[in-house]
Amino acid sequence: MIKLLSLIATLAFVGFGVVLGLLNPTLVSFDYLFGQRHIPLSVLLSVSFVLGMLFAGLFVFTQVMRLQWKLHRLNKQHKQQAIEIIELKKQLHKTPSAPSHDMALKNPG
């Protein structure tokens, strides 16, 4: 089902790009740092869209990696604390307990 939806979305974007290209054949002047070019408006819009998607993808990727690293660190800390809790419980059960109050009353001597 997900593959079908992604195929439909891809075809929709390709169709949108074709329509965009057909409706915007006008040449526009594009000034960049080292010069100037005349390119079709549809190409300029497509390149801008792709660059925007790449930058957004890079931003999301860095955020996801940062959060995964934080999750890894917290899971490691959780494991260490769980081991420490188990060790403390073992130590608690190994220590001899003091005689209860009821036993002291039955044997006054």
Q: What is the pLDDT along the chain (109 residues), one digit of tens a residue?
A: 888 888 898 888 888 878 877 887 889 998 888 889 998 888 888 888 889 989 999 999 999 999 999 999 999 999 999 999 999 999 988 876 655 555 555 555 5
Over the range 44-64, which residues count as b (16 or more CB within 10 Å of their CB) and which as e? beeeeeeeeeeeeeeeeeeee
Report CA-CA distances (Å) from 102 to 44, 92, 99, 106, 108. 89, 22, 8, 7, 11
* Predicted structure pTM score: 0.57
Note the Cα 103 to chain centre separation in Å: 60
The pLDDT score that the predictor gives to residue 32 is: 84
* Local structure of residue 100 (DSSP, 8 states): P
The answer to whether 40 and 26 are in contact (CB under 8 A) is: yes
